[in-house]
């Protein structure tokens, strides 16, 4: 079998030049994605159509030859599979009916995996069509981040509605997070059963919480999720991406049990090198350097490689690629990484 370099790095090996992929690499910056998206109907129709989900997952691999492919889906298919309403408004984002404290106790997972069967089918199709050497990543949202959308009904700048909900109804929020952790652990396990090599947990809103709330609502649920996942797959790598965690990154791997750390672009290289001493890291180029191109892109890539290239590193952005990123800048970034020398 051809070597899957991302998988090797996630397991602790140093590979140089490091393997590279991008969060949100299947998306609106690609003309072929926009064309497929227009055929799908709604965004959810695209997520739940195995053939089209497979197609858009493969598009960036065909164009750029990334070392990893990540399932095309959305973190909010988990509450949707629980029976919560969900729609995506063009130019606005996801919209849900906010859940109340009294409704949380009534949630149950009956039919959860049946509702998500198109996702599992998509994973099987993707693995069958990917190049042998390409690592396939499954993913889910972390319980806290998923809960913020369920409680607020939308994305908000600082997730104030969910923070306030938690302070007023801490036991109800704990109950919701526990349920999401257990179901998400099983969800990731089934993605691996279908062909994923490793998985990533996106905690996009972890950076808005104070220290105590971060431990209770980010760290504790992710640790529970990872334990649940490892009941099924004890040796499959898990990437944790607690965006905006700052100094809390220092203990995140130890406390949650994740294998690798996804670093956002604000993590200083001194801290990143400390984190890399205990395992693989992923990141952490500022996505706007990719948009800017030129010297800003080149110096950003060089800085990441100089700081982290001597250890286990998956080169990536510090968050998802933005729709305005020029295709030629993506090509340039990949060329800089793959053409780099020690």
Are the C-beta atoms of residues 326 and 30 closer than 8 Å to each other?
A: no
Residue with token string 């130019």: 91
28 has catalytic annotation: yes
The structure tokens listed for 9 are: 């790095």
If one counts the domains in the chain, the total is 1
Q: Which of 261, 239, 238 has the alpha carbon at shortest distance from 249?
A: 261
Q: What CATH number should be reported for the domain holding residue 208?
A: 3.20.20.210
pLDDT of residue 91: 80
Q: Which of 28, 190, 216, 332 is catalytic?
A: 28
Place of tokens 């984002």: 93
Taking the C-alpha atoms of residue 36 and residue 53, their distance in angstroms, rounded to an integer, is 9
Query: What is the residue range of 210's domain?
Result: 5-338
Q: Clarify whether 74 is annotated catalytic.
A: yes
The pTM of the full predicted model, rounded to 2 decimals, is 0.97
Q: CA–CA distance from 276 to each of 16, 101, 236 (Å)?
A: 15, 40, 19
Catalytic residue, chosen from 63, 74, 95, 227, is: 74
Query: Which of 29, 33, 149, 249 is the catalytic position?
Result: 149
Tokens of 84: 């919560």
Q: Are 50 and 118 in contact (CB under 8 A)?
A: yes
37 a catalytic residue = yes
pLDDT at 92: 85
Catalytic residue among 4, 8, 37, 127, which? 37
Q: What is the pLDDT along the chain (342 residues), one digit of tens a residue?
A: 688 999 999 999 999 999 999 999 999 999 999 999 999 989 999 999 999 999 999 999 999 999 999 999 999 999 999 999 999 998 889 999 999 999 999 998 999 999 999 999 999 999 999 999 999 999 999 999 999 999 999 999 999 999 999 999 999 999 999 999 999 999 999 999 999 999 999 999 999 999 999 999 999 999 999 999 999 999 999 999 999 999 999 999 999 999 999 999 999 999 999 999 999 999 999 999 999 999 999 999 999 999 999 999 999 999 999 999 999 999 999 999 999 987
One of 24, 224, 228, 253 is an active-site residue; which one?
Answer: 24
Cβ atoms < 10 Å from Cβ of 71: 26
Q: How many CA atoms lie within 13 A of 272 on its CB side?
A: 27
Q: Which two tokens stand for residue 265?
A: 């672009």
- At residue 1, the pLDDT reads 65
């Amino acid at each position: 079998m051809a070597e899957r370099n991302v998988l090797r790095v996630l397991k602790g090996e140093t590979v140089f030049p490091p393997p590279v992929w991008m969060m949100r690499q299947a998306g609106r910056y690609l003309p072929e994605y926009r064309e497929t998206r227009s055929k799908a109907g709604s965004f959810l129709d695209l997520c739940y159509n195995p053939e089209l989900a497979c197609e858009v997952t493969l598009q960036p691999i065909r164009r750029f030859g990334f070392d990893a492919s990540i399932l095309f889906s959305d973190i909010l298919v988990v509450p949707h599979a629980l029976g919560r309403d969900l729609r995506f408004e063009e130019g606005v984002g996801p919209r849900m009916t906010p859940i109340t404290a009294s409704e949380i106790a009534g949630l149950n997972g009956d039919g959860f995996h049946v509702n998500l069967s198109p996702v599992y089918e998509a994973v099987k199709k993707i693995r069958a069509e990917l190049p042998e050497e390409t690592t396939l990543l499954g993913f889910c949202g972390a319980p806290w981040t998923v809960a913020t959308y369920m409680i607020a009904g939308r994305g908000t700048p600082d997730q104030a509605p969910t923070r306030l909900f938690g302070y007023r109804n801490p036991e109800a929020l704990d109950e919701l997070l526990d349920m999401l952790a257990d179901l998400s652990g099983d969800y990731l396990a089934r993605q691996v059963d279908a062909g994923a090599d490793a998985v990533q947990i996106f905690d996009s809103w972890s950076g808005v919480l104070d220290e105590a709330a971060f431990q209770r609502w980010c760290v504790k649920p992710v640790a529970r999720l990872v334990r649940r996942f490892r009941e099924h797959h004890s040796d499959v790598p898990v990437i944790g991406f607690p965006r905006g965690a700052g100094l809390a990154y220092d203990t995140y791997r130890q406390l949650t049990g994740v294998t690798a750390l996804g670093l956002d672009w604000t993590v200083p290289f001194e801290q990143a090198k400390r984190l890399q001493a205990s395992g693989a890291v992923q990141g952490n180029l500022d996505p706007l350097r990719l948009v800017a191109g030129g010297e800003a892109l080149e110096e950003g890539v060089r800085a990441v490689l100089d700081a982290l290239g001597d250890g286990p590193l998956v080169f990536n952005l510090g968050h998802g690629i933005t729709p305005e990123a020029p295709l030629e800048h993506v090509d340039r970034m990949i060329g800089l990484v793959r053409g780099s020398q020690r």
